[in-house]
């Protein structure tokens, strides 16, 4: 799926599944598509929820959070944050949060979403699961 197709699919109320080859950019690019469209912004009335991304391992959480912050030109620990067991860097106005599946299950269960490999969710005004 290309960026436009992904963003159009988001207008569908059902959850979506994005398939792509290894290292094609599912983890690092899709959150950026969402962010650049206005998701994750506290100023947006429609898309104000945090973009949440899960990864199975803490090393991958740190690496992808750093990479996305770098590509967006944002500060890690501010607009782009992460949380793993015993470590967390999250700003008050965090837009994109990377976390392990374990954190999702332990800490975010009320607010968030779940997927096995990787997920994004926009909560508050609506809850959406994107599995890639």
Ligand X SMILES: Nc1ncnc2c1ncn2[C@@H]1O[C@H](COP(=O)(O)OP(=O)(O)OP(=O)(O)O)[C@@H](O)[C@H]1O
Interface residue list for ligand X (CB under 6 A): 20, 22-29, 63-64, 66-67
The sign one gets for the Cα dihedral 103, 99, 94, 128 is: negative
* Closest distance to ligand X from the beta carbon of 102 (Å): 18
* Closest distance to ligand X from the beta carbon of 8 (Å): 20
Distances (CA, A) of 98 to 11, 58, 76, 127: 23, 9, 11, 17
Nearer CB in complex with ligand X: 28/41 = 28
* Closest distance to ligand X from the beta carbon of 20 (Å): 6
State both tokens at 113: 């979403």
What three-state secondary structure class fits 70? helix
Residues in the chain: 132
Nearer CB in complex with ligand X: 9/63 = 63
Nearer CB in complex with ligand X: 62/107 = 62
């Amino acid at each position: 799926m290309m960026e436009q197709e992904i963003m159009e699919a988001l207008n569908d109320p059902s959850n979506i599944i994005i398939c792509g080859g290894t290292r094609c950019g599912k983890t690092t690019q899709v959150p950026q598509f969402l962010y650049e469209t206005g998701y994750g912004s506290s100023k947006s009335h429609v898309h104000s929820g945090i973009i949440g991304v899960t990864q199975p391992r803490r090393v991958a959480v740190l690496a992808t959070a750093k990479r996305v912050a770098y590509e967006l030109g944002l500060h890690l620990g501010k607009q782009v944050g992460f949380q793993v067991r015993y470590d967390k860097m999250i700003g008050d106005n965090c837009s994109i949060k990377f976390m392990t599946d374990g954190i999702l299950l332990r800490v975010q269960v009320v607010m968030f979403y779940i997927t096995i490999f990787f997920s994004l969710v926009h909560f508050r005004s609506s809850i959406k699961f994107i599995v890639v």
